[in-house]
Amino acid sequence: MIIIVLGAPGTGKGTVAGLLQEKLGIKQVSTGDIFRKNIKERTEVGILAEKYITKGNLVPDDITIKIVEERLNEPDVINGAILDGFPRTIKQAEELDKILAVKGQKVDKVINLTTPDEEIIERIVNRRVCSNQECKAIYNILLNPPKIEGICDKCGSELVTRKDDTEETVKARLETYFIETNPLVEYYKNQGNLITELVSKSVNKLGKDVANEVVQILK
The number of CA neighbours under 13 Å toward the Cβ of 125 is 12
Alpha-carbon gap, residue 95 to 68, rounded angstroms: 10
Catalytic residue selected from 37, 91, 162, 205: 162
71 has catalytic annotation: no
Q: Can you give 133-172 as a three-state secondary structure string?
A: CCCCCEEECCCECCCECCECCCCCCEEECCCCCCHHHHHH
208 has catalytic annotation: no
Alpha-carbon gap, residue 155 to 148, rounded angstroms: 12
Contact 61, 91 (CB under 8 A): yes
Catalytic residue selected from 109, 123, 136, 173: 173
123 has catalytic annotation: no
The number of CA neighbours under 13 Å toward the Cβ of 162 is 32
Catalytic residue selected from 36, 123, 127, 136: 127
Catalytic residue selected from 36, 71, 88, 136: 88
Catalytic residues: 13, 88, 127, 162, 173
